[in-house]
Amino acid sequence: MANFKGHALPGSFFLIVGLWWSVKYPLKYFHQKGKKSRLNHHHQRLEIIEAAIRTLFSVIGILAEQFVPDGPHLHLYHENHWMKLMNWQHSTMYLFFAVSGIVDMLTYLVTHIPLGIDRLVMAVSIFTEGFLFYYHVHNRPPLDQHIHSLLLFALFGGSASVSLEVIFRDNIVLELFRTSLAILQGTWFWQIGFVLFPPFGTPEWDQKDEANIMFITMCFCWHYLVAICIVATNYALVYCLLSRLKTHGGGEIIGIQKLKSDDTYQTALLSGSDEE
Nearer to a copy of itself, 52 or 99 (CB): 99
> CB-wise, 184 or 196, nearer to a copy of itself?
184
Helix and strand totals (H; E) in the chain: 8, 2
- Contact range with a copy of itself by CB under 8 A, out of 16-24, 62-70, 165-173, 188-196: 165-173
Q: How far is the CB of 89 from a copy of itself (least distance, A)?
A: 5
Is residue 220 within 8 Å of 35, Cβ to Cβ?
no
Determine the length of the chain: 276
- Backbone torsions φ then ψ of 81, nearest 5 degrees: -135, 140
Of 24, 36, 34, 40, the C-alpha closest to 251 is 34
Helix (H, G, I), strand (E, B) or coil at 80: coil
Site for a copy of itself contains 187 (CB under 8 A): no
Which of 5, 49, 210, 233 contacts a copy of itself by CB under 8 A?
Answer: 210
Site for a copy of itself in 84-113 (CB under 8 A): 85, 88-89, 92, 95-96, 99, 111-113
CA trace torsion 37, 42, 44, 45 (10° rounding): 180
In which region does residue 204 sit, left (phi positive, over 0), alpha (psi from -120 to 50) or beta (all else)?
beta
Stretch that binds a copy of itself, among 5-13, 63-71, 173-181, 193-201 (CB under 8 A): 173-181
Amino acid at 89: Q
Q: Does 23 bind a copy of itself (CB under 8 A)?
A: no
Whole-angstrom distance, CA of residue 225 vs CA of residue 275: 38
Q: Which residues pair with 78 in a beta bridge?
A: 81
70, 200, 211, 249: residue in contact with a copy of itself (rule CB under 8 A): 211
4 sits near a copy of itself (criterion: CB under 8 A)? no
Q: Which residues bind a copy of itself (CB under 8 A)?
A: 29-30, 38-39, 81-82, 85, 88-89, 92, 95-96, 99, 111-117, 120-121, 124, 128, 131-132, 135, 139, 153, 166-169, 171-174, 176-177, 210-215, 217-218, 221-222, 224-225, 228, 235, 239, 256, 259-260, 263-274
